[in-house]
Structure 1
Amino acid sequence: MLIDCDSCTARGTGCADCVVTVLLGAPPARRATAPVFLPVPPVPAAEDAVVARAGVVVDLDDVERRAVRALAEGGLVPPLRHRPAGGGRPDGRRRTG
């Protein structure tokens, strides 16, 4: 699955509540002996959302996609809000039947 923020029809309005914003905005990992606790910032309003810079493409394989879906269903991260410009499904699959 390729997520291209430049072609997302929900870009701007959907960014504040999209898992891509959470993934790209995560602080860099630190190697320390003790855990480092960072304060959780308040959820931004839609107009304050950080929009991914042009050219950002996120590639998720099946395992990563299932992990993100499980986190979203558990309320730990927002769901994927990406909507491809062609009107297809966000996971790139086609409906059958």
Structure 2
Amino acid sequence: MDIFTLIKELGFPIASALIGGFFMFLTLKYIMDGVIGQVKSLRGIVGSLDNRVKTMNHDMVRMDTTMCVVLGIRPDLNRISRADGKEDARRD
């Protein structure tokens, strides 16, 4: 459809509003594509940080239990039971 035919049929204000709306749509689409890319990268970073926290928690429970056995102290069974059944997050 020719732009002049559009202006002739709808009138200049409506045609300019449609064209302006189209450019707004393109601008918002461009911005949202950039935001979605950043959200995906942040999701990966948060996932790796969660993995590190799980690994550190597992290591802390293991070291705490080892130190309690070495020093002859009764280990914290509640802490051990909370960590029981959870998989170690390390990939080695």
TM-score range, shorter chain: under 0.3
Larger radius of gyration: 2
Q: TM-score, normalised by structure 2?
A: 0.24
* More helix per residue: 2
* More strand per residue: 1
